[in-house]
Amino acid sequence: MPEAPRAHTRAVLGLLLLFAGGVSGSAPPTSRPSIEPTLPLLVDVRLSQVERAAGRARGRLEIELLAGGDLGDIELSIALPGALWVTDGTALPPAFRMADRERRLLVLPLEGPDNRDLPIRLGGTFRTADGRTFRLGHGVTLGAPRPASVGRSYLGAWEVMAVPLEALRR
Amino acid sequence: MKRLLLAILALFSTTLPAVADYTVTGACAYVDREFDVNGFTGNEPVLPVRHVDVQVIDTQGTKIVGSGVANAAGNFTFPVVDNKTRNIYVRCLARRQTTTGIPVEVRASSNASDLWALRGPTISGHLPSQNVSTGTLVAVPGSGGEAFNLYDNAIYGVQYLDYLRGGPAPAPLLLVVFNPANANLSFYDGTAVVQANNAGYDDTVLLHEMGHYVVDHFSASHSPGGSHRLSDCNQDLRLAFDEGHATFFGNSVRRHFNLPNSSTYVRTTGQAGPGNLQFSFDTETQLPFVCLGATSETTVYAALWDIGDGPSSTDGSPGTDEPWDLLQGLDRDYWDVMTIHLPAAANISLEDFWDGWFQPSVANGRLTEMRAVFRQLGVEYEPDLFEFNDLPAEDRLIVPGPAIYGLTYFADRDNDLLGEGDTDRFYFDSVGGSTYTIETFDLRSDANTSLELLADDGVTILASNDDRSPTDKSSLISYTPPEAARLRLRSIHGPGYGIYGSYDLRVAGAAAGADEDQDGYTTANDCDDTNPSIHPGATEVCNLVDDNCNQVIDEGFDQDGDGYSTCAGDCNNVNAQIHPGATEVCNGIDDDCDFSIDEGGFPDSDGDGILDCVDPDDDNDGTSDVVDCAPLSYLASHLPVEIEERVTPVDTTTARIQWDQVPEANVYNVYRAQIPLAGPRDYGMACMLADVAGTTVDDAAVPTVGTYFFYQEAGRNPCGEGSLGSDSSGGARVPAMPCLPQDLDGDGDLVPDLSDTCPLLADPGQADADRDGRGDVCDNCPITPNPDQGDPDENGIGDDCQDGDEDGFPSAADCDDANPAVNPDVPEVFNGLDDDCDGLIDDVIEVVTITLATWLESSGRLTVEATTNHVPGSVTLTVVGLGTMNYVPVSGTYRLVAYFVPNPGSVTVVSTAGGSATYPVTPL
């Protein structure tokens, strides 16, 4: 993959802005990026410290939560494929609350086979201060090993190999 | 350049110079992921990549040796001038270059040299005279599929912009940056749309961000930007408009092109397979993020959506629309506001959009319909019932008590439909020593009230309040007059980004005068002090009485002024065209309020039960009317596609030109050009034969010495003449002497050849059971649609009707017509094949079998073993109430052993694949 430092910086900027608080009534327009619509509970699910050995994959599932308001009755559930399990028996917390701008990080150590994609799906519900309840979903896939790069930078373009239509239909 | 007539060249020249160039043909495509409100549907069709640049690369010389452009179907054909043997490959670039429209690029970074490209395999030792056919190059998920999906959606976006702008016109580059290393939130930063790493297939997210590009380059915004939460009903007025507009724009692109679920905004997790939803919402109903008032992006996109959508929109309720929404198809009216009025406005919000709509320079009109839509969303840009009450002399009487007065900051004294800053003034008679609580609440659309209580002189301020608290912009005054007096109240809009808004006002306290009916209101203002259901603030009902003492009878029940109130049968109170006795017209609406929609024999051309006026596909040919060039005839929906012909010599002087039928063409125009062997090529083609009903013509003409003939054919149908292909510059070929319509009827069946499903065989009935445009009497496969009549083995039976593996299923119904063990009647087994042709591989219905269930009393040991016909490890089996079973490879079974449990009598095993079984436990 080609590196995209500028774009990444902008994204981080956007995330920082996400919970930077309200806007002053007299503040002039700024050139902050326009970020996509979000839920008041922002979720980032990622895998870290993934190690592969002897046909097994081990890693940490990190669930990062950022509250964009006072939220209650936050209930999360996680669906793991049958072959993947939490190695230390850690469970997600029961219903909990988060204050505006509060951040939480939940970590689950996982282990499973290393020969196929293992999709991990997070679901949940939460209640906003005005009493409304919303659903959320998120997910990440513990992928099987693949070639290091799917493309290359060449002659003014980032090239990836095409798949012939006939091969797709086989 | 598509076809050089080499056969004719061989006939008339024996000493030709070498033609050292070649033609490159092929197509670019990508795997799409369809979605609905629940996330991905699991359907992943292959779609064309339209209008992309295509290049031929020399791998050794590291240079571009040729280039062309794919057409709207993703196909490309272009010549390459060359004279060397090279190793080459072809690549499709996620780029649309244009000087007359909006260019588009999808890059892997902001760097211009990181344009996403899809490359084919290397052709080693390619000869300079060897044509290249790449086939269809497909970008798949994880390897370019996301980038080309984003590109395709961007193309939809710029095409919608072309429509809004009245045609293609130059504009700045629309740049999209997608990289799996991106962060997980998408944004627009004034330069590019940076798409989140997990949003490569989130079409509406890309189109939302494109909405910001649109405002950036064609309108204006004063949004502070940054994050915004859909559940926030109290956003910055400017941000709410900018973000709501962006969502509206994105989903309007999908509505304009009749793409499915056009009102649905979907954010997925990016994972493969059905579902994988983060969240979704509906731009029409706002669900599940419902807010009222202009300080919510959800209100803004719902209001703007109602301006464009109609009963035939591909939204969540196709065929109908909300009863209060009588606007539709006003996309260009919306665009006028965006481009004419808003760029000069200050603190742009929904208020400015409203003003722009009615500005004389825009003058979109439809006040009643606009008010109905906005009012439904809690946006009341209209005078309240007390107007005009801006000046001291216009103070209006209100009564202390439980009544709640619904008010707006919106004055329009000059009746130009544009709002003005508004002051609401009232008076009431107080009782000495009694405390009065005066408050505003339920503020909407940034109303931000500020109250002043004045003495009867209208000048002396007795009490005042702007904001009830630092976080609550409503107002609260508590005041106890020392003696009975007339008090006056002034309500103004506090400082903010807007001047409009709505709020409720209540003055709680004792009212002066008698109250015989004990309804809380005295004779000072109770217009019927003998009836407790009649008093100020009472709910007005349709009963010919002034229930709420505002001197108006049954207000609100004939809002459209058509003479019919709702209690008199008016089924739509905001449209004066709808009422009992009105003329029913075909529009998907019950105009005459008789509980029937569009009765009266309006046409239904395809007989599908949906009248033409609301049927998105009147001829039921699968092509939406808005893009169907013949919407009432299933025989044609597009111009015929380009034709590939074959030219062979019949004898020394005659050439035979043949081609295969193409869909939606019954007759063909044959063109001929005479090309010099040397010097510049001029493809000035002239009509040779017009409206040929067959697919073969012979040409006995002889080209002059030093030239050869070049032939080109174009199918013709009621929509016109099909493509003649592209010239070497990529532009469409235009004949110097076009063929003229002949209006022939070669078979004499009184059906013109142009629309005759069998133009070579008299067939006045025109029966066509499979509706493929080929009449049954001449169709080589009459029960299965095969408009191209494909029959490569020339046995007279269309390929789609043949049964290659003789398993009883024709190829059209057999997903593998070379394998008799695969067809819709074969049960699915685990073999890596789609045995039953249902589109799924190894989708075997699970059978769980409990092979052992024993219980040993001495230790309370319960042993359960079970098997499943699914692949071991692919599912999880669980003994209900006891836990997950482990797979034991040695025995090929799943097992669970539990100790110190009582005998359950029986056990039930369930599997994650849906199977289950119950079995009695045997005590040991």
Alpha-carbon span B369 to B836, nearest angstrom: 54
User: Which candidate in A24, A26, A34, A47 is best for mutational testing of the B interface (most B CBs within 10 A)?
Assistant: A34
* B91–A30 CB contact, under 8 Å: no
* A33–B189 CB contact, under 8 Å: yes
Average pLDDT over every residue of B264-271 = 97
What percentage of chain B reaches a pLDDT higher than 90? 63
Average pLDDT, chain B: 91
R_g of chain B, CA atoms, integer Å:
37
**What does chain B come to in residues?**
924
Q: Count of CB atoms within 10 A of residue B561's CB?
A: 8
Which residue from A3, A36, A162 is facing B208, i.e. has the nearest CB?
A36
Average pLDDT over every residue of B649-658 = 90
pLDDT bracket for residue B520 (50, 70, 90): confident
Which residue from B110, B139, B190 is facing A160, i.e. has the nearest CB?
B139
User: Which candidate in B189, B205, B283, B871 is best for mutational testing of the A interface (most A CBs within 10 A)?
Assistant: B189
pLDDT tens figures, B209-260: 999 999 999 999 999 999 999 999 999 999 999 999 999 999 999 999 999 9
Query: According to the model, what pLDDT value does residue B734 have?
Result: 84
Instruction: Kindly report the nearest CA distance between residue A10 and chain B, in angstroms.
Output: 8
- Alpha-carbon separation of residue B105 from A7, A8, B23 (angstroms): 15, 19, 26
* B177–A7 CB contact, under 8 Å: yes
Whether the CB-CB separation of B108 and B147 falls below 8 Å is answered with yes
Query: According to the model, what pLDDT value does residue B797 have?
Result: 87
User: Which candidate in B113, B227, B292, B448 is best for mutational testing of the A interface (most A CBs within 10 A)?
Assistant: B227
pLDDT tens figures, B188-210: 999 999 999 999 999 999 999 99
Res. B2: pLDDT tops 60? no
Query: According to the model, what pLDDT value does residue A148 have?
Result: 56
Alpha-carbon span B165 to B705, nearest angstrom: 52
* B181–A1 CB contact, under 8 Å: yes
Give me the phi and psi of A74, to 5 degrees please: -80, 120
Query: According to the model, what pLDDT value does residue B198 have?
Result: 96
| CB-based contacts of A75, cutoff 8 Å, min separation 6 | A94, A95, A124, A125, A126
Whether the CB-CB separation of B279 and A134 falls below 8 Å is answered with yes
What residue spans of B583-701 are helical by DSSP H?
none
* B135–A165 CB contact, under 8 Å: yes
Alpha-carbon span A157 to A164, nearest angstrom: 20
- In one-letter notation, the amino acid at residue B921 is V
Which pTM value belongs to this model? 0.67
Which range among B179-183, B469-473, B856-860 shows the weakest confidence by mean pLDDT?
Answer: B856-860
* A82–B874 CB contact, under 8 Å: yes
**What chain A residue is nearest to B272 in terms of C-alpha separation?**
A119
- In one-letter notation, the amino acid at residue B35 is F
* B230–A121 CB contact, under 8 Å: no
pLDDT bracket for residue A147 (50, 70, 90): low
Res. A16: pLDDT tops 60? no
> Quick one: CA dihedral B277, B283, B288, B291, positive or negative?
positive
What percentage of chain B reaches a pLDDT higher than 70? 97
Query: According to the model, what pLDDT value does residue A2 have?
Result: 38
Q: Which two tokens stand for residue A129?
A: 């201060």
Which range among B77-91, B138-152, B173-187, B776-790 shows the weakest confidence by mean pLDDT?
Answer: B776-790
How do strand A151-154 and strand A157-161 relate by DSSP bridges? antiparallel
Beta bridge partners of A43: A65
Q: B140 by DSSP, 3-state: which?
A: strand
* A134–B239 CB contact, under 8 Å: no
Alpha-carbon span A9 to A5, nearest angstrom: 6
* B229–A68 CB contact, under 8 Å: yes
User: Which candidate in B231, B493, B846 is best for mutational testing of the A interface (most A CBs within 10 A)?
Assistant: B231
B337 DSSP assignment: I
Alpha-carbon span B518 to B532, nearest angstrom: 7
Alpha-carbon span B94 to B915, nearest angstrom: 46
Query: According to the model, what pLDDT value does residue B18 have?
Result: 39
Res. B409: pLDDT tops 80? yes
pLDDT tens figures, B37-94: 999 999 999 999 999 999 999 998 779 999 999 999 999 999 999 999 999 999 999 9
Whether the CB-CB separation of B434 and B510 falls below 8 Å is answered with yes
Res. B845: pLDDT tops 50? yes
User: Which candidate in B123, B185, B281 is best for mutational testing of the A interface (most A CBs within 10 A)?
Assistant: B185
**What chain B residue is nearest to A42 in terms of C-alpha separation?**
B229
Instruction: Kindly report the nearest CA distance between residue B477 and chain A, in angstroms.
Output: 24
> Residue A36: which of B39, B286, B195, B299 has the closest Cα?
B195
Query: According to the model, what pLDDT value does residue B732 have?
Result: 81
**What chain B residue is nearest to A112 in terms of C-alpha separation?**
B873
Res. B4: pLDDT tops 60? no
Strongest mean pLDDT among A68-82, B838-852, B884-898? A68-82
> Residue B452: which of B443, B461, B444 has the closest Cα?
B461
Question: Residue B123: its chain A contacts at CB < 8 A?
Answer: none
Whether the CB-CB separation of B778 and B761 falls below 8 Å is answered with yes
Whether the CB-CB separation of B362 and B341 falls below 8 Å is answered with yes
Res. B186: pLDDT tops 70? yes
Return the number of CB contacts < 8 Å for A and B.
Answer: 263
ipTM: 0.86
Higher pLDDT, B57 or B10: B57
Question: Residue A161: its chain B contacts at CB < 8 A?
Answer: 118-119, 121, 143
* B271–A139 CB contact, under 8 Å: yes
Instruction: Kindly report the nearest CA distance between residue A120 and chain B, in angstroms.
Output: 9
* B231–A69 CB contact, under 8 Å: yes
Alpha-carbon span B625 to A46, nearest angstrom: 46
Res. B670: pLDDT tops 50? yes
* B117–A160 CB contact, under 8 Å: yes
Query: According to the model, what pLDDT value does residue B588 have?
Result: 83
**What chain B residue is nearest to A113 in terms of C-alpha separation?**
B873
Which residue from B108, B222, B912 is facing A158, i.e. has the nearest CB?
B108
- Alpha-carbon separation of residue B350 from B57, B217, B345 (angstroms): 51, 19, 11
Instruction: Kindly report the nearest CA distance between residue B279 and chain A, in angstroms.
Output: 6
Which residue from B187, B223, B238 is facing A14, i.e. has the nearest CB?
B187
* B267–A36 CB contact, under 8 Å: yes
Q: Count of CB atoms within 10 A of residue B201's CB?
A: 25
Question: Residue B108: its chain A contacts at CB < 8 A?
Answer: 1-2, 4, 151, 158
Question: Residue B277: its chain A contacts at CB < 8 A?
Answer: 137
Instruction: Kindly report the nearest CA distance between residue A95 and chain B, in angstroms.
Output: 20
* A40–B247 CB contact, under 8 Å: no
Question: Residue A134: its chain B contacts at CB < 8 A?
Answer: 231, 279, 288-289
Query: According to the model, what pLDDT value does residue A22 have?
Result: 32
pLDDT tens figures, B546-586: 998 888 888 778 878 888 888 888 888 888 889 999 999 88
Res. A15: pLDDT tops 50? no
CB-hemisphere CA count at 13 Å for B735? Answer: 24
pLDDT tens figures, B482-506: 988 999 999 999 999 999 999 999 9
Alpha-carbon span B310 to B800, nearest angstrom: 39
Instruction: Kindly report the nearest CA distance between residue B832 and chain A, in angstroms.
Output: 11
**Helices B237-256 and B203-218, interaxial angle, to 10°?**
120
* B236–A33 CB contact, under 8 Å: no
pLDDT tens figures, A107-138: 999 999 998 889 999 999 999 999 999 999 99
Res. B440: pLDDT tops 50? yes
Instruction: Kindly report the nearest CA distance between residue B728 and chain A, in angstroms.
Output: 24
For the stretch B518-541, what's the b/e string if a residue is b when 16 or more beta carbons lie within 10 angstroms of its beta carbon? ebbbbebbbbbbeebebbbbbebe
Res. B17: pLDDT tops 60? no
**What chain A residue is nearest to B187 in terms of C-alpha separation?**
A35
> Quick one: CA dihedral B735, B736, B741, B744, positive or negative?
negative
